[in-house]
A and B are shown apart, each in its own frame.
Chain A
């Protein structure tokens, strides 16, 4: 019986080129590659993404000196500080409440005060520095606003006459 020679071995091995993946595999490969890249990017922490972007930016500028690396680090720190300020900024309501002027009652003529220069919110919170935001809007027209924390219940107030 003939033995396999090198040529026969080589021929059999070359036929292995025809072992191919399922149809459509190569067409979908790029989409799969993009998907995996996106997943990996989302798994990374924000600071790393900023660092990679900074590196890419610096490499585009072609700054090869050592000073570029500290600059990149500084840029990343600035970005992180800005982002953290945005994330941990206290809500607008508390700030407005702290800045409001304490007055005991609203003036009788309230119409002139209801201009664009004096927004509704400032009128509502004027009596006390820290109050519930959800004051009664129904009482703003002719009487000072009343709050849940007032000593006199709302039901004991005299009715309004228009």
Chain B
């Protein structure tokens, strides 16, 4: 295809050799460009400047990154561990590790993906060591939930009984989450709670998008079965 027109073989062969070479090289260049774009090489990483300054030795730049990512990473780690104290310790270790390793960060992925990978991997390693010996240490629900549209819909009848049911349901949901395997809980946390797209989750976990979707499907079924059981037998 040249200039938008598709050529026949005999027409293509009739072109001068130099023209053919130019066409081939421009085609190869276009392919390389699209491949680069397809690869995970963000060009407009919003944290690029902070990362560059941190790598140059400016510790205050890393402080800004800590302030920026602490709330988000807290939610991720907390919902995987369901324990506030463990979350605090893990989060400290995550940032400590990130600070030590940031000099080796080459920008092949965004800083967001990179630090989430560290957080998820460290949490999964921690959960494997912790095993089944854990204690739930849940945070309180923030009062701003009252303004949440979905919460208002869920408690539309404004009945105290309904709100109590919802509170109990949330508690059961937390228990159901802990019954999932660590890998399934990770994808549920990232997709449903953190609101990450499948593509981002696949980059963080270094698995295919298909694997992410299948894990989500299986986890949803598990949660559904457990909560259905609760609904049928609400008295524990």
- The answer to whether A and B interact is yes
A102 to B26, CA, bound (A): 93
Q: Per-residue 0/1 for A22-34: is the Cβ within 8 Å of any B Cβ (1 yes, 0 no)?
A: 1000100110110
Q: Which residues of chain B have C-beta atoms less than 8 A from A17's C-beta?
A: 75, 193
Is A43 part of the contact surface with B, judged by Cβ < 8 Å? no
- Smallest Cβ distance from A147 to chain B, in angstroms? 58
Does B66 lie within 8 Å of A21, measured CB to CB? no
Is B150 part of the contact surface with A, judged by Cβ < 8 Å? yes
Residue of A nearest to B87 (CB): A21
Does B228 lie within 8 Å of A13, measured CB to CB? no
Does A29 lie within 8 Å of B66, measured CB to CB? yes
Does A18 lie within 8 Å of B96, measured CB to CB? no
Is B220 part of the contact surface with A, judged by Cβ < 8 Å? yes
Residue of B nearest to A5 (CB): B224
Does A11 lie within 8 Å of B231, measured CB to CB? no
Q: With contacts defined as CB atoms under 8 Å apart, how many contacts are there between chain A and chain B in the complex?
A: 96
A1, A3, A4, A56 — which one has the most chain B CB atoms within 10 A of its CB?
Answer: A4
How many residues of B are counted as interface, with CB atoms below 8 angstroms from the partner's CB atoms?
46
Q: A4-B227, A4-B231, A19-B138 are in contact. Are A13 and B193 (CB under 8 A)?
A: yes
- Smallest Cβ distance from A71 to chain B, in angstroms? 18
Is B111 part of the contact surface with A, judged by Cβ < 8 Å? no
Does B57 lie within 8 Å of A21, measured CB to CB? no
Q: Which residues of chain B have C-beta atoms less than 8 A from A11's C-beta?
A: 150, 154
Does B74 lie within 8 Å of A21, measured CB to CB? yes
Is A64 part of the contact surface with B, judged by Cβ < 8 Å? no
Is B169 part of the contact surface with A, judged by Cβ < 8 Å? yes
Does A15 lie within 8 Å of B57, measured CB to CB? no
- Smallest Cβ distance from B3 to chain A, in angstroms? 45
Is B41 part of the contact surface with A, judged by Cβ < 8 Å? no
Does B220 lie within 8 Å of A19, measured CB to CB? no
Of the candidates A12, A20, A33, the one whose C-beta lies within 8 Å of that of B142 is A20
Q: A15-B150, A56-B57 are in contact. Are A30 and B227 (CB under 8 A)?
A: no
Does A16 lie within 8 Å of B173, measured CB to CB? yes
Residue of A nearest to B55 (CB): A59
Does A9 lie within 8 Å of B231, measured CB to CB? no
Does A16 lie within 8 Å of B79, measured CB to CB? yes
Of the candidates B84, B138, B139, B223, the one whose C-beta lies within 8 Å of that of A9 is B223
- Smallest Cβ distance from A9 to chain B, in angstroms? 5
A51 to B223, CA, bound (A): 51
Q: A13-B188, A30-B63, A30-B67 are in contact. Are A19 and B227 (CB under 8 A)?
A: no
Q: Which residues of chain A have C-beta atoms less than 8 A from B78's C-beta?
A: 19, 21
A29 to B56, CA, bound (A): 24
Q: Per-residue 0/1 for B170-193: is the Cβ within 8 Å of any A Cβ (1 yes, 0 no)?
A: 100110000000000000100011
A14 to B153, CA, bound (A): 13
Q: Which residues of chain B have C-beta atoms less than 8 A from A122's C-beta?
A: none
Instruction: Knowing that A4-B224, A13-B188 touch, tell me 17 more A-B residue pairs with CB under 8 angstroms.
Output: A1-B232, A5-B224, A6-B220, A11-B150, A12-B169, A13-B193, A14-B195, A15-B170, A17-B75, A18-B142, A18-B145, A19-B78, A19-B140, A21-B87, A21-B139, A33-B95, A60-B56
9 contacts between A and B (CB under 8 A): A15-B148, A15-B150, A15-B170, A19-B78, A19-B141, A21-B88, A30-B63, A33-B95, A36-B92
